[in-house]
Amino acid sequence: MMRALGVALGLLLLAGCRGVPWRPQAYDAAVRVEALDLRFAPDGSGLLTLKLEVRNPSSDLALITGVDFDLAVDGRRLAVGLQQVEVALGEDGLAQAVEVSFPLVSQGTAGSVSHLLHQVRLSGGVLLRYGPRTERRATFQVERVMELPWLPPPEPMLE
C-alpha cells in the first residue's frame, strides 16, 4: 500500500514538472533570431518580420503558442506586440524555423526621412506550452545597426 502511494505521489510530481529542462539556462538559449527585417513607410506605418530558430529545451512535447516583442530604435521604444501562433515542437531538440510578421501603425503624423544608421534593439519571447496547463517563456534579444530610410514620429506605435 505504501509503495503504491509513493508511486502515485511520484507521478503527480512528475506531471507538475512538464516543460522543466535538466539545465537551468536551457530557456535562455532556446530561441535565436536568424533574421530581423524592419521597414517603415512615409505614412508612418511599418512592418517587423522575424525569422526565429526555436529548440525545445525540454524532453516533453511542446507547442509554440505565441511570440511577443519590444522594439526600440536609438534608445526610443517604438513598439510592443504579441502574436498568437501554433507550431509544434518535438522532444528531439531539433531546431524549428518560425517566421512572424508584426504590422506596425503609427499614431498621429507621418514619419520623417532618415539617412542615418540606427541602433535597433529587439527583445521578446516565445511562449511554449507543455500539456494543458504548463507554459514557459523562452526569451531572445538582439541588437543591430540598420539603415532605416523612414522613421515614425516619437509617439508610441501600436501592433
Question: What is the DSSP code string of 32-47?
Answer: EEEEEEEEE-TTS-EE
Question: Which grid cell is 36?
Answer: 530581423
Number of domains comprising the chain: 1
Domain-located, residue 131: yes
pLDDT in tens, 5-48: 454 444 444 444 444 555 668 888 999 999 999 998 887 788 99
The low-confidence residues of the chain, meaning pLDDT below 70, are: 1-24, 107-112, 115, 153-159
Residue 7 CB neighbours (<10 A): 10
pTM of the model: 0.78
Domain-located, residue 6: no
89 and 26 Cβ atoms separated by less than 8 Å: no
How far is it, in rounded angstroms, from Cα 157 to Cα 152? 8
Domain-located, residue 20: no
Looking at every residue in the chain, the average pLDDT score rounds to: 82
CATH number, position 66: 2.60.40.10
The whole-number pLDDT of residue 108 equals 57
Domain-located, residue 98: yes
What is the domain range of residue 149?
30-158
